Amino acid sequence: MHNLVGDVSSAARILPALDGQTLFIRNGKGPYLWDDSGRRYIDTALGFGAVLLGHANAEVNARVSDALADSASPSWAHVREHAAASALAAHTGELSKVIFTNSGSEAVHLACRAARAYTGRGRIAKMAAGFDGWFDEVSVGNVGSSDAAFADGQRPVHGRTTLLRFNDFDDVERLFSEDPDVAAVILEPMLANAGCIMAAPGYLQHVQTVARRHGALVISDEVLMGFRLHAGLASHQAGLDPDIASVGKAIGNGVPVSAILGKPQLFAGFEEGRVLRGGTFSGNPLACAAVLSTLSQLDGADYRQLIERGDTLRQAVQSIFNNHGITISTSGYGNVFTIWPSERAPTTYAEAAESANAAFSQALHLTLRAAGVLMMPSPYGRIYLSLEHDDEVVAEMRNAFERAASQLAARFAS
C-alpha cells in the first residue's frame, strides 16, 4: 500500500515510467541529480526554475544550516529578516517594501489582497494560460482549460478573477470597457507556463498604460522570471513600472521562500493593521538566510555568459533536429526556453495549443532521460540552465539531444 497520493504531493512532479521504472531522486549537486539507483542525470527542470546557482550550493547550505542551528521557528521578529528584506529591496527600485511568504502561490494571493485593499475594487485580471499559483481564485484559465481559449464576448469571470488574452492589444481595452471593478492586472514578462510565449513588442507597456488609465494597478508575477535574467526584476529590465511584484524560486536557490514587493503607499494598510497578513513560516530564518546568500552570489554572477551559453544550446538543438528531418523551433531566453514541434514558435496561446504535441514531448522526455538528461514531459514544459551548467555540461546535453533526435526521427520526421 502506498500512502503518498499519486507518489507525489504536487502533480507537477509526476513523470512517466521509463522501462517500467518510476523515477525517485536521491540527491543533487551542481547541474546534476542522482536517482535512487545511483544513476546521474543533467537536470533541466531545476526546481521549476528555483535552482539558479546549482543544486546544493555550498554557501547557501552553510548559511541555512547556521539559521537552523539558531532555531528554525523563533516565532518573533528575528535578526535575519530585516537584512533579507533590505537585500531584496536593493535590487527592485521603487518597490522598496517587502513582505515574505513561503510559496509563489501565497505571494500572488497576498499581492491580490494588497491591490483590492488599496483600490477598493474586487476583481483581478490575469492572463489566460498564465500560471499565477494554484489557489482557487487565480487558478482559473490555466493551460489546457476551456477558459484559457475563450472567444470574444465570452470572457470568463470566476468569483473575483477574470481573464485577458496575452499579446492581444485590443482585448485589454475590451476588458476595461466591460468591467469597471478591476483592481489589478497580473502579468508575466513572458507567458512561461504556456511554453515561454514572448511578449509582442510594446504589449506589456500597453497593458500597463491601459490599466493605469482606468485606475487599476499592475502586478508583475515574477515568481518564475525574477532574478533569472539579471539580478533584479524582468519587468524592470523590460522597461515596465509595476506597482507590486511577486518573487520566489531563484531568490532562495530552491529553499522555499517568496515575497511581494511594492511601492510604500500600497502596503500602508498592512503596516497599519487594516489588511490581514500572516503565516507561521513567512520570513522564517532559514528562508531569510537563503535569500541573503543567494542574492550576494547573484550579484557577482555572469548572466550574459549564462544566457549566451543557453542561446548556443537552443541553436544547436534546432540544428540537430532539423538534420534528422524533425522540424522544431524554440521560444524563450537562453536560460529558460521551450521546444516546439513546429516551424515557428507560437506568439499566442491559441498558436501554442495548436502546436502542442503531447506524444512528441513525452517521447522527447523519455529518450533524453535514457541518455542522462531530465526535462519536463509537458508540451508546455521548459528547459532551464543554471550557473553550474558549464560548457562541458552543455556539450553533454548536445550529445543527448543528438541521440534523442536520431531515435525520434522514424516517428516524427516531417
Residue 319: give the domain boundaries.
5-53+302-412
Residues of the chain with pLDDT under 50: none
User: Which residues fall within 8 angstroms of residue 75, CB to CB, at 6 or more apart?
Assistant: none
**For the chain, what is the domain count?**
2
What pLDDT shows up at residue 318? 96
The confidence score (pLDDT) of residue 1 equals 57
**Can you give the length of the chain in residues?**
414
What does 281-309 look like in DSSP terms, one character per residue?
Answer: TTT-HHHHHHHHHHHHHHTT--HHHHHHH
Q: Domain boundary at 233, 263, 298, which? A: 298
Measured from the Cβ of residue 234, the count of other Cβ atoms closer than 10 Å reads 22
Same domain, 40 and 87: no
Do 219 and 120 belong to one domain? yes
Q: Does residue 107 sit in the same domain as residue 241?
A: yes
User: Which of these three, 298, 331, 349, is where a domain ends?
Assistant: 298
Residue 130 sits in the same domain as residue 37: no
Picking from 263, 298, 333, the residue at the C-terminal end of a domain is 298
Indicate whether 47 and 152 sit together in one domain: no
Q: Are residues 115 and 181 in the same domain?
A: yes
37: left (phi over 0), alpha (psi -120 to 50) or beta: alpha
The per-residue pLDDT for 13 is 78
Same domain? 78 vs 173: yes
Between CA 37 and CA 34 the distance in angstroms is 8
- Helix (H) / strand (E) element for 64: namely helix 58-70
Q: Residue 236: helix, strand or coil by DSSP?
A: helix
pLDDT of residue 78: 95
- CATH assignment of the domain containing 259: 3.40.640.10
Helix or strand holding residue 358 (H, E): helix 358-370
pLDDT at 152: 87
- Co-location of 281 and 359 in the same domain: no
What CATH number is attached to the domain comprising 49?
3.90.1150.10
pLDDT digits (tens, 9 = 90+) for 326-384: 999 999 999 999 999 999 999 999 999 999 999 999 999 999 999 999 999 999 999 99
Do residue 104 and residue 40 come from a single domain?
A: no
Per the structure block, which three cell numbers stand in for 198?
A: 514572448
Residues 163 and 247 in one domain: yes
28 and 92 inside one domain: no
Q: Is residue 71 helix, strand or coil? A: coil
224 and 333 share a domain? no
